Homo-oligomer: A and B are copies of this chain.
Amino acid sequence: MNDTFLKACRGEKTDYTPVWIMRQAGRYLPDYQKVRAKVDFLTLCKTPQLAAEVTFQPVDILKVDAAILFSDILIPIEPMGMKLEFSESKGPILYDPIRSETAILKLRQIKPAEDVPFVAEAIKILTSKLNVPLIGFSGAPFTLATYMIEGGSSKNYVNTKKMMFQTPEIFANLMEKITDTVIGYLQLQVDAGVQAIQVFDSWAGILSPVDFEAYILPYVQKIVSTFKGKLPVIYFAFNGSAMLDKVKLADADVYGIDWRIDISDAISAIGDKGAVQGNLDPCTLLGDRALIKDRVSKVLAGAKGAKGHIFNLGHGILPEIPFENAIEMVKDVHELSSK
């Protein structure tokens, strides 16, 4: 078992910088496309054999140091009682968005083992075969709340902020329900055998630091403290790079860093509070090999002072990226950091 990734998460010395890629099982990979041609996205998430297959692919092809369960952050929302659909053009759609106290009261408490058994099954298939650690994940409560309130993604998140600012108690009720769901959902994954977990707060960055701290940080802290010490917990507050002094209060083991900040500045902000994961602009992989190598070396150099560093992109890899460039990037990280 290659445990370089786990060592870096814990801030231990490693022989080289471990690397994986957010959305590494995705549309940029021809092998993934072949599987996806047969089934729709949600079916792929819910079919353990297939989900396991596409989770394996990038480990094989890219030689990354960790696998991440193929799934979607919205998976635990459906059993809470919302109808979920993925539209090719609009992305996720959640019908009957949550805009009232009544709607929140109607939400179910999920029973993960019954409601999403396919998640545990996929993990069991994977851990029996993988030679790298498997990362489980969940959306963070605020990010899930935005989808539930807006009914999908949104430009300015006006409905979410309306509920947050105008009826903070009602918003808190929703956040509590989602937090319980997230904890149960992650516990299922931990019990099934994942060796690290990542909490994706993809929309944390729509908030000011003062609102982040007041309205959403406590729920993240509750989740992190539930799992801390049991396995490494990664918290990724996307687009939160200008408020890392607040983000680090999550008390995670590792912080995901987007590409909008020099990683050395991110490390200064986080200090010894945790390791960092990131942070190459995914679009750098549209460039040629010289550009990729240059930018990889800059991130590695910037991360020298980190408590631990896991190389990654600053966001999910895009369908437009040539997969050969992703292979190249992983090779660069391994070579340049071994010197």
Contact = CB atoms under 8 A, between A and B. Distances in A.
A128 B282 CA distance: 50
Copy tally for this chain in the complex stands at 2
A260 to B, nearest CB: 5
A260 B242 contact: yes
Interface in A232-257: 239-243, 245
Interface string A272-294: 00000001111110111001000
A298 interface: yes
A208 interface: yes
A166 interface: yes
Interface in A102-129: none
A320 B158 contact: yes
A259 B298 CA distance: 28
Contacts of A318: 156, 158
Contacts of A265: 242, 245
Interface in A148-174: 156-158, 161-162, 165-166
Contacts of A85: none
A262 interface: yes
A261 interface: yes
A298 B210 contact: yes
A218 interface: no
Contacts of A166: 286-288
A286 B164 CA distance: 10
Interface in A288-311: 288, 291, 295, 298
Contact of A260 (B165, B240, B283, B286): B240
Given A259-B208, A262-B209, A262-B210, A283 B243 contact: no
Contacts of A96: none
Interface of A: 156-158, 161-162, 165-166, 205, 207-211, 239-243, 245, 259-262, 265, 279-284, 286-288, 291, 295, 298, 314, 318, 320
5 contacts: A158-B286, A158-B320, A165-B283, A207-B260, A239-B239
